[in-house]
Amino acid sequence: MAIALLVRSAANRVLTEAVEVTIEADARQLSEVLSAGGMSALQLAVGEKSRHSSGGVYLLLDVAGRRLAGNIQERPASFEGGSGAGVFRYRLAGRQGRGAQPDEERLAAGIQLDLDGGGTLVVGREIESQRQLLSSINRSLLFGLGAFAVFGIVGGFLLARHILARIDAMSRASQAIMAGDLAGRLPRNGSGDELDRLAEQLNEMLARIERLMSGLREVSDNIAHDLKTPLNRLRNSAESALLDARGAPAWREGLQRTLEEADDLIKTFNALLLIARLEAGSIAESFETVDLAEIARDVAELYEPSAEEAGLSLAIITPPSVPTRANRQLVSQALANMLDNAIKYGVRQAGSPSVAGPGILVALDAEGDTARLSVADRGPGIAEADRKRALDRFVRLQPSRTKPGSGLGLSLVAAVAQMHNGSVALEDNQPGLRIVLSLPLAAGPLSVANSDPNRSRARNASEHGHSD
């Protein structure tokens, strides 16, 4: 609308200026004729212009007001009595004008000059065609605007209806999801436009929530199961001791068993709480500069006799030093859990092909900005499909659950990794399981001698006197 008005006023201004310039030029030229040749020369010139000029409007009157020359009949009414300028209506005199009816009234702009020595000259310019052009522009603009408005309204209505229909569909889908259909997803049309992308992102969010929910459900199922079983055992041992006819000695035994069961429950709760705290990231301020190689050697040394008792040799390969920022207790505990797992499940299967090398290998290497601390065994390993699940809370892949343990060991490793911005991977050791704990190395230059790994087999380490 604003643009249409602008076009109209610009057109008007250009035309008006052109008219003014022409009128002034005409008037100046006629004034020069008067100065040079007097009234009779002017009369001739006006007569000439009146016959040949197209669009020019002229009238020359003598002192008495009689018409001497010109192409209009009479002086415009607005110019009576004195000089002036303005817009006026006129009728053509005689046969002038191209295709115009003689009696047709037309619009002109002009000036009136009082001549030296009496007489009056009116010089003007017909602006009827300009008026018609302007009104034609007006009509076009109005029509354009109208069409524009109609198309805009109709198009906008259709577009809005289309978008609203899609939003409506999304709203219905989300209501179904809110009503409990967690598998539901928002509809997509595949166009890749903003709405489609929004639906895609919301669907990804829903998928993640669904995974978390099912994980949570699994965890609470497992918690219920894993805490109910020892509680049952605890209750049974207390009851059977109480019913035992032997009296005091049986009570003592029963209480002893009850205590052991209670201790196991407490351990499970402690592990759960620790994992929850690690996942909340609340103890990141406890990081210090530690040497991962030293941690690996120390924990391997702690577990080496237990591994040997289980019939497994334990070897360690590590560079002399791998310094990084970490929580020593938690990384040690993670490695302890990895070794605990290897000792429990890493016993070679009967009939499996014998492989050279140690039963359990602890390896540490630093590459780029990551340290990889791994524990590999030669046991049955974990099927690829189960590997991800093995890191979940309370998941114990052996359905019988005969081995002691809370099912939280590897979840804690995962939580420790996450807290250190690292990761855990379960890999195929061909045969066996390799658990890899990757931790980011401290920024800055490190004195890591990768090229010369200090290989030592703990079980074969020669005995020597204490020397520190």
Partner 1 sequence: MRVLVIEDDREIAHFVAKGLKESGNTVDIAEDGDTGLETARGTAYDVLVVDRMLPGRDGLSVIQILRAEGNRVPVLILSALGEVDDRVKGLKAGGDDYLTKPFAFAELMARVEALARRSAPEESTTRYTVADLTLDRLTHKVHRADQHILLQPREFRLLEYLMRHAGQVVTRTMLLENVWDYHFDPQTNVIDVHISRLRGKIDKGFERPLLHTVRGAGYTIRDSAD
Q: Does 397 bind partner 1 (CB under 8 A)?
A: no
Q: Which of residues 184 and 230 has its CB atom nearest to partner 1 in the complex?
A: 230
Contact, 310 vs 340, CB < 8 A?
no
Considering only the stretches 46-54, 113-121, 329-337, 359-367, report the one whose residues sit in contact with partner 1 under the rule CB under 8 A. Answer: 329-337
Amino acid at the residue 291: D
Q: Which of residues 172 and 277 has its CB atom nearest to partner 1 in the complex?
A: 277
Q: Does 375 bind partner 1 (CB under 8 A)?
A: no
User: Least distance to partner 1 from the beta carbon of 263, Å?
Assistant: 7
* Sign of CA pseudo-dihedral 318, 319, 320, 325: negative
> Per DSSP, what are the bridge partners of residue 314?
360
Q: Are strands 105-114 and 120-126 parallel, antiparallel or unpaired?
A: antiparallel
Please report, in angstroms and rounded to a whole number, the separation of the first and last CA atoms in the chain.
Answer: 93
Binding mask 153-182 for partner 1 (x = CB under 8 A): ------------------------------
User: 209, 302, 355, 383: which one contacts partner 1 (CB under 8 A)?
Assistant: 302
Amino acid at the residue 203: N
Phi and psi at 289, nearest 5°, equal -80, 120
User: 132, 329, 398, 454: which one contacts partner 1 (CB under 8 A)?
Assistant: 329
User: Least distance to partner 1 from the beta carbon of 322, Å?
Assistant: 19
Q: Which of residues 171 and 306 has its CB atom nearest to partner 1 in the complex?
A: 306
Q: Does 286 bind partner 1 (CB under 8 A)?
A: yes
Considering only the stretches 209-217, 270-278, 393-401, 419-427, report the one whose residues sit in contact with partner 1 under the rule CB under 8 A. Answer: 270-278
> Per DSSP, what are the bridge partners of residue 92?
72
Q: How far apart are CA 175 and CA 181, in angstroms?
A: 9
Q: Does 298 bind partner 1 (CB under 8 A)?
A: yes
Amino acid at the residue 227: L
What does the DSSP 8-state code read for residue 72?
A: B
User: 42, 61, 108, 343: which one contacts partner 1 (CB under 8 A)?
Assistant: 343
446: nearest Cα among 370, 377, 335, 390: 370
Q: How far apart are CA 98 and CA 52, in angstroms?
A: 11
Q: Which of residues 20 and 308 has its CB atom nearest to partner 1 in the complex?
A: 308
Q: How far apart are CA 68 and CA 47, in angstroms?
A: 9
User: 266, 280, 355, 383: which one contacts partner 1 (CB under 8 A)?
Assistant: 266
Q: Does 279 bind partner 1 (CB under 8 A)?
A: no
Q: Does 98 bind partner 1 (CB under 8 A)?
A: no
The reply to whether omega before 431 is within 30° of 0 (cis) is: yes
249: helix, strand or coil = helix
Judged by CB under 8 A, the chain residues 448 through 467 that form the site for partner 1 are 461, 463-467
* E strand spans, 292-403: 314-318, 323-326, 360-367, 370-377
Judged by CB under 8 A, the chain residues 101 through 120 that form the site for partner 1 are none
> Per DSSP, what are the bridge partners of residue 118?
none
Considering only the stretches 10-18, 126-134, 300-308, 420-428, report the one whose residues sit in contact with partner 1 under the rule CB under 8 A. Answer: 300-308
The residues that touch partner 1, with contacts defined as CB under 8 A, are: 256, 259, 263, 266-267, 270, 274, 277, 283, 285-286, 298, 301-303, 305-306, 308-309, 327, 329-330, 332-333, 336-337, 340, 343-344, 404-406, 409, 461, 463-468
